[in-house]
Amino acid sequence: MNTSVFFGALTVAGLAAGAAAAGTLDDVKARDKLNCGVTTGLVGFAAPNANGEWEGFDVAVCRAVAAAVLGDSSKIEFVPTTGKTRFTALASGEIDMLARNTTWTFSRDVDLKFEFVGVNYYDGQGFMVPKELGVSSAKELDGATVCIQTGTTTELNLADFFRSNNISYEPVPIETNAEAQQQYLAGACDVYTTDASGLAATRATFDDPTAHAILPEIISKEPLGPLVRHGDHEWGDVVRWTLNAMVAAEELGVTSANLSEMASGTDNPEINRLLGTEGNLGEMLGLDADWAAKALSVGGNYGEVFAKNIGEDTPIGLARGLNAQWTDGGLLYAPPFR
């Protein structure tokens, strides 16, 4: 029994690695479907709505890529992954890209052999506590029980933070955001820590969000972005520039409202190049000339996607902050479309 399992595992590893070697772009086109890895459910970023359709900030990136490559944002299969399973799913070729609020780190990029195509949300790790505990700073958390999603960078940041501040804590490892929510609300842990955006999204689903405070300390840099397998640069370029197109569109003022008007040609050559009425950027990527227009037709530009899913008018209520355009004092800066 043990031997057969062993060889079974080897077979899977062998076959999967074999599949990964082929061009993902061709694979996706041949399959006529994009396999996109998302979270198991984090409202605002990726969660099924009442009709069972996935929606959210990360999902919008997947849909934009599907539209750019296949011309249809519904030709997509969402694969829910946990913090533990996501990298194996991507490395084995089960998914073509991962858009699952995943932090861009050196070892993931270099050692795990992935390629982060950019950053779609600049985040940092925070702490959420019930207000009744009367805690106002993370440094007062000595001896606290902390719920933490296992297999994440937050786990390591947490260990570093408590170590460098010379205070103790009790980690309670959990698998998904839903489990963390259950344990936190029942008081089985005092604190829930994850990316600040995730905390805001989780808090928005509570019965009484006002009873919980997010502490001011942000203990890490968490640049979250979509990633693909290392080595397949054509596919990496497609995902990278789809993301850049969403960011650039906001900067250039292309919205879902004026998209069709602008796609027929404007006076601004950069908009024309982006939307494919000028130059041959789409051809260079191996896509149609109007790839970016198709991508933008799904949910609009970055700003629109942000406002619709996690912006200040939503229950999650995140401010743009670092995620504003560079012209507005943020960090979003798409390279030129030229």
What is the DSSP secondary-structure string of 66-95?
A: HHHHHS-TTSEEEEE--TTTHHHHHHTTS-
Our CB check for another protein shows the closer of 143 and 269 to be: 143
Rg of the chain over CA atoms, in angstroms? 21
Q: Which stretch binds another protein (CB under 8 A): 14-22, 24-32, 51-59, 212-220?
A: 14-22
Smallest gap, in angstroms, from Cβ of residue 192 to another protein?
13
Q: Which stretch binds another protein (CB under 8 A): 117-125, 183-191, 261-269, 303-311?
A: 183-191
Q: Does 23 bind another protein (CB under 8 A)?
A: no
d(CA 286, CA 279): 14
Smallest gap, in angstroms, from Cβ of residue 81 to another protein?
12
Q: Is the four-CA dihedral 221, 222, 223, 227 of positive or negative sign? A: positive
d(CA 310, CA 43): 9
Q: Does 187 bind another protein (CB under 8 A)?
A: yes
Among 4, 51, 107, 264, binds another protein (CB under 8 A): 107
Phi, psi for residue 101 in degrees, rounded to 5: 15, 65
d(CA 183, CA 186): 5
Smallest gap, in angstroms, from Cβ of residue 272 to another protein?
40
Our CB check for another protein shows the closer of 173 and 329 to be: 173
Our CB check for another protein shows the closer of 151 and 321 to be: 151
Q: Does 326 bind another protein (CB under 8 A)?
A: no
105, burial (CB in 10 Å: exposed 0-12, middle 13-18, buried 19+): middle
Q: Does 227 bind another protein (CB under 8 A)?
A: no
Name residues contacting another protein, limited to 119-178 (CB under 8 A): 132-133, 141-145, 150-151, 155-156, 158-160, 163, 169-175
Q: Where are the alpha helices (DSSP H) in the chain?
A: 2-21, 24-31, 57-70, 86-91, 106-110, 153-164, 177-185, 196-204, 233-252, 259-263, 269-275, 281-285, 291-299, 302-309
Our CB check for another protein shows the closer of 54 and 162 to be: 162
Our CB check for another protein shows the closer of 51 and 107 to be: 107
Q: Does 75 bind another protein (CB under 8 A)?
A: no
Retrieve residue 108's tokens. 């993931």
Smallest gap, in angstroms, from Cβ of residue 103 to another protein?
12
CA angle 315, 318, 323 (to 5 degrees): 150
Binding footprint of another protein, residue count (CB under 8 A):
54
d(CA 21, CA 194): 34
Q: Does 288 bind another protein (CB under 8 A)?
A: no
Q: Which helix (H) or strand (E) holds 293?
A: helix 291-299
The DSSP code for 327 is G
Among 4, 50, 186, 336, binds another protein (CB under 8 A): 186
Our CB check for another protein shows the closer of 75 and 113 to be: 113
Q: Does 331 bind another protein (CB under 8 A)?
A: no
Q: Does 260 bind another protein (CB under 8 A)?
A: no
Smallest gap, in angstroms, from Cβ of residue 16 to another protein?
8
Decide if 214 contacts 199 (C-beta within 8 A).
yes
List, edge to edge, every strand of the sheet that includes 97-98: 76-80, 34-38, 97-98, 227-229, 114-116
Neighbours of 196 (CB within 10 A): 23
Q: Residues interacting with another protein, by CB under 8 A?
A: 2, 5-7, 9-11, 13-14, 17-18, 20-21, 83-84, 87-88, 91, 107-108, 111-113, 132-133, 141-145, 150-151, 155-156, 158-160, 163, 169-175, 182-183, 186-190, 230-231
